[in-house]
Amino acid sequence: MIGDVPRRADSSQVATQLRVIGALFMRELLTRFGTSRVGFIWLLAEPMFLALMISTMHWASGHGVGNNLPTFLFYAMGYTPFVMFRSIVNRGQNVINANMSLLFHRNITLLDLAIARNLMEAAVCSMIITLFVTVAAVFFDEWPHEPALLFCGLMMSALLAHGLSMLLAALTCFYEPLERFTHPLTYLMMPISATFYMLSMLPSESRDLLLINPLVHVHEMNRWAQFGDRVVPYYSIPYVLCWILGLNLLGMAGLRAARSRITMME
């Protein structure tokens, strides 16, 4: 007598989507870095090179950043998180057009595509930031003041970029020329995001105006998490969380609206 053959339990919808996102993540990773390591090297070299140049200019002029802050680490910790934000927004906006053929698969949604691509960008940039922090700690005795808060700051930057990239990807389906403006606009955000300066250096009027930008709060929080009482931070975590919630809800709603406008071509 043959007993019942054991069967694999049906996977839940959540488990299925997690596997889909994992597969898409590996696909994005191989697509970006599988055939060439030049892209990864440049992703590491760009913030290092810029931080080194700015640090050298300040050193040559005899002007540091004060309070015995390491000049190179100060600028690297400002620019590298901004690189993550810019990279997620710029590459995430094109996620629909770049992966149109994958939407033939029933289990793949626009949200899965956005999460996989943006998660890959965030993971790679986070590795670079971790490398900077580790080198500073081991070789220059610059240990993070609040490592957990620094990690939260990086997560907030990634989630802000994730929500904005989903919203832009959806809007691009309705107005395709929008894609041409995203790259220059993300560069223009750099001077108003406290990437290379602290708010404590500015007058109160300018400070209050810049604090409208949630990225300013994130950068100020990251600096305090790294340097502690050597800096005077200005940030509000609830304010950033409100922006994260709003952008991500708008982004998901936008992707849902864009799905009906996508025409699948054989």
Q: What is the pLDDT of residue 47?
A: 67
pTM to 2 decimal places: 0.86
* pLDDT higher than threshold 50 for residue 2: no
How far apart CA 266 and CA 263 sit, in angstroms, is: 10
* For residues 101-111, average pLDDT: 81
* For residues 126-133, average pLDDT: 84
* pLDDT higher than threshold 80 for residue 4: no
* For residues 119-143, average pLDDT: 85
Q: 80: pLDDT confidence band, cut at 50, 70 and 90?
A: confident
Q: In the chain, pLDDT over 90 holds for what percent of residues?
A: 31
Listing DSSP states for 95-163 in one string gives HHHHTGGGGGSTT--HHHHHHHHHHHHHHHHHHHHHHHHHHHHHHH----S-HHHHHHHHHHHHHHHHH
Q: 197: pLDDT confidence band, cut at 50, 70 and 90?
A: confident
Least confident of 98-112, 216-230, 237-251: 98-112
Q: What is the pLDDT of residue 265?
A: 41
* pLDDT higher than threshold 60 for residue 14: yes
* pLDDT higher than threshold 60 for residue 169: yes
Q: 249: pLDDT confidence band, cut at 50, 70 and 90?
A: very high
Q: How much is the mean pLDDT over the chain? A: 83
Three-state SS letters, 2-32: CCCCCCCCCCCHHHHHHHHHHHHHHHHHHHH
Count of residues making up the chain:
266
Angle formed at CA 196 by CA 195 and CA 200, multiple of 5 degrees: 95
Helix or strand (DSSP H, E) at 85: helix 71-92
